[in-house]
Amino acid sequence: ALAANDAVRLFVARARAVKPDFELDESNRDAVIAICYRLEGLPLAIELAAARVKFLPPAALLKRLDKRLDVLTGGARDLPDRQKTLRATLDWSFALLSRDERQVFTRLSLFVGGFRLDAAEAIAKDLAVDVVEILFSLADKSLLRHQFEADEPRFWMLEIVREYAREKLEELEDVAVPARNHRDHYLAFTRQADVGLLGHEQKRWLELVEREQANVRAMLRRALTHRELAPVVEAGWNLWRYWWIRGQHAEGRRWMEGALEHVEELAPDLQVRAYFVGAAMAIAQGDLATASPWVQTCIQLAREIDNRFVEGVGHLGAGLIALYTQDLPAVEQHLHRALEIFREDDDWWGRAHVLHYLWRYDAVLGRAVEEIGELRESVDLFRANGDESGLVLVLHDLAMTTLLSGDVPEALSLLDEGFNDSLELRNRWYLAYCFEALGCVTIVLGDLVAGARYFGLADRLRDEVQTPRAPFDMILYAPYLETLERQLPSAELQAHREAGRAWAVDEALANKPIGTAGHGKAA
C-alpha cells in the first residue's frame, strides 16, 4: 500500500492521463484523499478509480465506492487483461489457490478489523486443513496482511479483498457454518473478558476487547439479525463492564434493547441479565424513566431464580435511581439490602460499590465528612483487587470531601491519581468527573476563569459520551458553581465555559495545579 501523499499523487497522475485538465484543488481535494483512504493505498485500485474521473468527478466517484469491485474497471490500455478490472485481478489470484486455500480464504472474510491465529483456526475448525500453513501462503500471495502483536501474528485483509472473498464465500458454501464458528469463538472470548475486566488484568483486557470489538460487533449484529438472542445477551453480560468503563453506554444499551424486543423468547436467567445490563447503561445516560422498571423487573426475576448477585446489583441500581430522584427512604432500603447480600456472599466488588453510594446518600443528608470512612473502605477494596475503573469515581468523591474539609493539597493528590487512571483507561466520562472536581479546586484557589474552563471541558467530554451529570453530582458542585455565577458576569462565564469546550485535554492537564504527585502549573 502507498503512503497517503504517494497515493494522492498516483491518483492525480492517472486522472490526468484520461482527463488532461484535471487539477487537484480545494473543490475536490477532500474527496480524492477520501478515495485513496477507502482504497487503502492499493495502487491498482487507485489507478482504476482515477480512470473513472473522465466521467465522474471525485465526489461522485466516492459515493459509488460501496461497490468497489463493480466500479473499479477500465484500466490503462497497456495493462494485461487480468488487471483491467480489480475483480479480474482478484479472479486471477483466486484461480491459483488450492481448494483448501480457497475455503479458508473465503471464510476469513467474516472477520472485521483483523484476527489472531486462534480465531482463524476456530473459523475453520470443521475443516481438515493446516490453517497455519494456509495463512502464511495467503500472506505470501498478498491476499492477507500481517504484523506481530505481543509476539503473536495478527492478520487482516484489505477491505477490497475482503469484499471479494465474502462474495466467493456465498458462492462456495452455506455461510451458516463458518458464521457459527465465528460466533462461538468470540462468545468464548467475551467469557474470558468478563473475568479479566474485573481485577488486576483490567487494563490488558480493555485493550484486548478494543482490538476485537469490530469482530464482536459483527457477531452481535449477525446474531440479532437471525434472532439468536441468547448469544447477544450472554455477550452483553460479559462485556457490560467494558461498555461502562469506555463510556459506550449507548452501544451497550442498543444491543440489550434489541434482545429485549423479544424478551418472551429468552429464558429467565437471560432475561434478568438483559434487564440489568440495559438498566445499567440507561442509568449512566441519565434515562431513569427507562431504567427504573427494568431494575425492578431485574430484582423480581433474580429472586425467582435465586440469582443473588443480580439481585444485589439490582438493589444497587434501584438505590442509585432513588438517590438521583431524592427518594431517600428507598435509597436506604435498597442500598442496605444490597450490602447485606454482598457481605453474606463475600463479594468485594459489590461491597465496594455499595459503600460508595451509601456515602453519597450520607452526603445528601449533610454527613459527607463524618462518613468519609465509607469512601476510604471503598477505595481500599478497589485498590486491593486492582479495579481502577471502580476506583476513579470514588477518588473523585474523596477529593470533593477533602476539599470540603479544607485540605486542598490532598484533594489535588487524589485527583492526580484519578486523572492517571482515567487516561490509562481511556475513559472520557471519568475524565469529565476529574475535570469537574479540578474546577471546584481552582475556584477555591481563586482562579475563577480556570474553574469555568474546566467545567466547560467536562461539558464537552460528557457530550461526547452522551452521559449527562447526575443530580447528585450537581449537589456536590452547587456551592462552587454558585461562586462562579455570583462573581463572574453571565456573558463572561459563558464565554469561559465555551473556551473550555475547545480546550485539548493535554493542554488542560498541563495547566492544572500541582498535587503531591502531579505535573502541571503551581497554584
Give per-residue pLDDT as tens, 109-140.
999 999 999 999 999 999 999 999 999 999 98
E-strand stretches of 290-365: none
Percent share of the chain, pLDDT over 90: 72
Torsion angle of the four alpha carbons 184, 186, 191, 192, in this order, in degrees rounded to the nearest 10: 130
Alpha-carbon distance of 404 to 411, in angstroms, equals 9
Round to whole Å and give the CA distance between 242 and 191: 12
pLDDT of residue 442: 96
The predicted structure's pLDDT at residue 513: 82
- Check residue 153 and report its DSSP letter: E
Lowest mean pLDDT among 5-14, 174-183, 339-348, 426-435: 5-14
State how far the Cα of 285 lies from the Cα of 8, in Å rounded to an integer: 42
Is the pLDDT at 141 greater than 90, yes or no? no
The pLDDT, as a whole number, for residue 66 is: 64
Q: Which three cell numbers stand for residue 459?
A: 461539558
pLDDT higher than 90, residue 197:
yes
Q: What is the helix (H) or strand (E) element at residue 267, kind and residue range? A: none
Count of alpha carbons within 13 Å of 312, Cβ hemisphere only?
21
Residue 73 predicted with pLDDT over 60:
no
The residue type of 266 is L
Q: 226: helix, coil or strand?
A: coil
- pLDDT score at 236: 98
Does the pLDDT value for residue 83 go beyond 50?
A: no
Please give the DSSP secondary-structure letter assigned to residue 519.
-
Provide the pLDDT confidence category of residue 514 given band limits of 50, 70 and 90.
low
- Retrieve residue 62's grid coordinates: 466516492
Mean pLDDT on 60-67: 76
What the block records as the C-alpha cell of 3 is 503512503
Please give the average per-residue pLDDT across 296-309, as a whole number.
97
Question: pLDDT by residue (tens digit) across 402-427?
Answer: 999 999 999 999 999 999 999 999 99
Mean pLDDT of 491-511: 95
**Cell 486462534 found at:** 118
Average pLDDT of the segment spanning 461-480? 91
pLDDT for 314 beyond 60: yes
Q: Residue written as cell 484489505?
A: 158
Closest CA to 426 of 505, 482, 500: 505
- Collapse the DSSP code of 116 into the 3-class scheme (helix H, G, I; strand E, B; otherwise coil) and give the result: strand
Question: What pLDDT shows up at residue 174?
Answer: 93
Distance CA 402, CA 395 (A): 10
- Cα separation, 249 vs 259, in Å, equals 16
Q: Give residue 50's pLDDT.
A: 83
Neighbours of 460 (CB within 10 A): 18
Q: How would you classify residue 114: left for phi > 0, otherwise alpha for psi between -120 and 50, otherwise beta? A: left
Predicted confidence at residue 69, as pLDDT, reads 55
Which pLDDT belongs to residue 470?
85
Average pLDDT over residues 359-377: 90
CA 474 – CA 477 distance, rounded (Å): 5
Arithmetic mean of pLDDT over the chain: 90
pTM exceeding 0.85: no
Burial of 41 (0-12, 13-18, 19+ CB in 10 A): middle
Q: What is the pLDDT of residue 78?
A: 47
Q: How far is CA 212 from CA 13, 159, 463, in A?
A: 38, 17, 26
- CB-based burial label for 80 (10 Å; 0-12, 13-18, 19+): exposed
> Which tens digit of pLDDT belongs to each residue from 258-269?
999 999 999 999
DSSP per-residue string spanning 49-63: HHHGGGTS-HHHHHH
pLDDT of 3 reads 54
User: What is the predicted pLDDT for the residue at 60?
Assistant: 86
Q: How far apart are CA 490 and CA 481, in angstroms?
A: 12
Is 80 exceeded by the pLDDT of residue 300?
yes
CA angle 22, 90, 175 (to 5 degrees): 125
pLDDT interval class at 47 (50, 70, 90): confident
The answer on pLDDT for 520 being more than 90 is no
The more confidently predicted of residues 55 and 29 is 29
pLDDT of residue 79: 43
pLDDT digits (tens, 9 = 90+) for 266-295: 999 999 999 999 999 999 999 999 999 999
Using a 10 angstrom Cβ sphere, with 0-12 exposed, 13-18 middle and 19 or more buried, the burial of residue 256 is buried
pLDDT band of 398, cuts 50, 70, 90: very high
User: What pLDDT band is residue 42 in, cutting at 50, 70 and 90?
Assistant: confident
Q: Taking the CB of residue 64, how many other CB atoms lie within 10 A of it?
A: 14
Detail the DSSP E strand segments found in 145-282. 145-149, 152-156
